[in-house]
Amino acid sequence: MPEMSAIHSSRVDDVLRRSAARSPHSTALTFEPRSWTYRELDDAVTRAAAELLAFDLDSQARVATYGSNSDAYVIAFLACSRAGLVHVPINNALTGDELNYLLTDSGASLVLADPGLAPQVAQVSDVPIVALRDADDSLLSRVRTADGPVPAIPEPDVDESGLVQLLYTSGTTSAPKGAMMSHRALVHEYFSTIVALDLTGNDAPLHVMPLYHSAGMHVWMMPYLAVGAANHLLPSADIATILERIETARAGSIFLAPTVWVPLSQHPDVDMMSFTGSTRAGTAVMKNAADGIKRVALELGGKSPNIILDDADLQKAVSRSMMHMAMNTGQSCNAPSRMLAPKSKYDEVVAIAAATANAIKVQAPSTGEQGSIGPLANANQFQKVQGLIQKGIDEGAKVAAGGVGRPDGFNRGYYVKPTVFADVNNSMTIAREEIFGPVLVVIPYENEDEAIKIANDTPYGLAAYVQGSQEKARKVAKKLRAGNVHINGAQGGMGTPFGGYKQSGLGREGGHFGLEEFTEVKAAIGWGE
């Protein structure tokens, strides 16, 4: 494909081409003793595509890849894309009938296999086999030993909406099904991942997740190739090797499945675990660390109170708080989700909160305006939030805004109505559990002492909020059991310590307190004698 068209293309292989154009001499990928610059890797993909086309495969022919993690695996996937073929990744643990099913169902015309796995293919199928690597005639060897200029290959007759991969499900509940992944869909996923995870070219990521899985290839490897990072690939998730490469390669990011985190947390070379996530997961981390007496720092969940004092500017304080609550579609661990209002002004507080919630626009990310909110993270979270909204209704709370179901204009997707509950007491489920959605509960109180008691009556203690005169707010803030107390909407700076009391975690992030979490005190007795 010509360079100029590749600039604007949403084809998968052009993700690499663009990075090679920007940073041709930067390291793209290391694997065992081999290292590839972006130019070298892009040239290798073109040479591999030419090798595949030499098999006289039809456009969109299926090419299965059956191997463990390697640089050759990455090249094979991208070469299929560049040649207009459809890549079929196969779990290298599958054998026999399971392997045969995927080869047959996908209609594979060719199998690229690690030499050690090739016999498994030959036992169940007569599909032609080409060694992927570690053999004199392997695809990788042909690419690495090729002489002369990089061959010119014909532009494939596959546009951005065309198929680039058949990605099979695990088959845990029924026969595996091949998800049809288009170029455009995958490229959009890559750039969404870059934005969502804040991936940069300076991260030096370490790759250990299997590349046959969407997480390994499409959430980690390809987005990092898109931003021009130096990617360090391991053949498997060996804990000792992971720790060694983190140190030697100065890896700045890593993506691991829970099955890898558990043995990592138990490894004797790990002195400390720092974890951000749910309280349930944090509990598991602590249990895994206990056998080795490891230090643990945890930043977990919250159910943050927001006390509206009787001398607060209600319109300003309540509307601001509701907007803060809805930020990130309510998916913030420190969201001010429990609003405490004086009984004398309760109805007014509820009315302002409801009006603010009703004014919040819910929009798709592609068309979202500033100040709008989008969908929740996934289907499970959507169902959880809907269930808790219904639970609030069942327990007697009054819906002042929002409620169950999707907002007007949405009949699909994980979109939730910005919701305000009135007539809530602190014993209700919606006042106790972290909802992690745009749901605000408003609880009345008689006096400041009761407000403080209700605010502290929670298993969490990540953040708290106080709105009112500075003198009163400071007095109340001193009595709140939370790691951060925000007065009148104030936000912390970069050096502000962040962390919680009780089940919201252990330790602090940010500033010198955060640095202290990762240090040990050593007393050198007699140093000066």
Catalytic residue selected from 3, 98, 247, 299: 299
Cα separation, 234 vs 77, in Å, equals: 17
333 catalytic per annotation: yes
Backbone angles phi, psi at 52, to 5 degrees: -65, -40
Cα separation, 320 vs 334, in Å, equals: 15
Q: What angle do CA 50, 56, 57 make, to 5 degrees?
A: 95
What percent of the chain is helix, strand and coil (3-state, nearest 5)?
A: 40, 20, 40
448 catalytic per annotation: no
Residue reference for tokens 């008691």: 453
Tokens of 387: 């269930």
Residue reference for tokens 């290798």: 44
Cα separation, 73 vs 334, in Å, equals: 42
DSSP 8-state assignment for residue 185: H
Cα separation, 221 vs 210, in Å, equals: 10
Tokens of 312: 């607060």
Tokens of 333: 């661990």
> Which H helix or E strand runs over 27?
strand 27-31
Catalytic residue selected from 40, 333, 434, 509: 333
Tally of CB atoms within 10 A around 375: 19
Tally of CB atoms within 10 A around 353: 28
For 130, 271, 289, 293, the CA distances from 268, given in Å and listed in that order, are 41, 7, 10, 10
Smallest CA-to-CA distance from 430 within 463, 464, 467, 404 is with 404
Residue reference for tokens 């690939």: 233
Cα separation, 141 vs 104, in Å, equals: 28
Cα separation, 191 vs 258, in Å, equals: 25
Instruction: Return the active site residues.
Output: 299, 333
